[in-house]
Structure 1
Amino acid sequence: MRVRVNGAVHRMEVDPRVTLLDTLRERLDLTGTKKGCDRGQCGACTVHIGGRRVRSCLTLAATTDGREVTTIEGLAKGDRRHPMQQAFVERDGLQCGFCTPGQIMSAVGMVNEGHAKSDDDIRERMSGSICRCSCYPFIVEAIKDAQKVMR
């Protein structure tokens, strides 16, 4: 398969049963995408494929052939954080940090989709991304802050 991940083209053979999550972590050494539940329920593995947010633990790597995949490592521009990353830092939208990459990837996707219109919209559309540290109020504020810059 041939896939572009964070702007770099990778050619590799993959077992048709291997998930994108395992390919990213084990073959491409992109460990920012986390393996949480491995069942698509927690959101820690969220990445973008063709600009849409997806759960990489439920996505077969082979289905990304010819596609563009963006992981948390691909959001920043050099040393400059993506506005959502910066907002999470400024609003303390992370504690242990385990869920943070998936939260940020989901939040960027949600804002780009145009769905972050109110606090209730944000909470509803982020409800599949679980934070065990309960940073939800800070995450909502971070998303609102970043949304202003991303427009």
Structure 2
Amino acid sequence: MTQEAVTRRMKRLSEFRNEPYTDFTVPANRERMLAAQEKVRGELGREYPLLIGGEQLFSDDKQKSLNPSRPSEVVGTVQKATPEMAERAVLAAYEYFPEWSRTPASRRIEMLVKTAAILRERKNEFNAWLAFEAGKTWPEAEGEV
């Protein structure tokens, strides 16, 4: 990325504005949210590993996340890290730091902008996860995403 491109991107970033809230009274918006909710519903109940140093790890001790509106519905199951796993995670972060510290600001900006684009594109899906996991209404969930 050229310095000129970085400067243009930085200028756009300095003009930050919050995303407008979705008006769920508009049928098309409601339909998109319902579709996202159904997509997420199909993913409920999965088990998620820890990711430490690029390696997926499972532990014997797990935590189930339940839908507060339907306590019998498992949103997902996550691993509870052991002290050894936590130590590995800290060590992995420490070992990776030199590489990250050499990552140019332009690349970091690129990564953040791409992440923001993904969040924007999939915001209804993230809203749905919050609705299932925390019992949020759609507008409340969107306020957190």
TM-score, normalising length: structure 2: 0.21
TM-score, normalising length: structure 1: 0.20
In our comparison, the structure showing a higher alpha carbon Rg is: 2
Q: Which has the higher strand share?
A: 2
Q: Which has the higher helix share?
A: 2
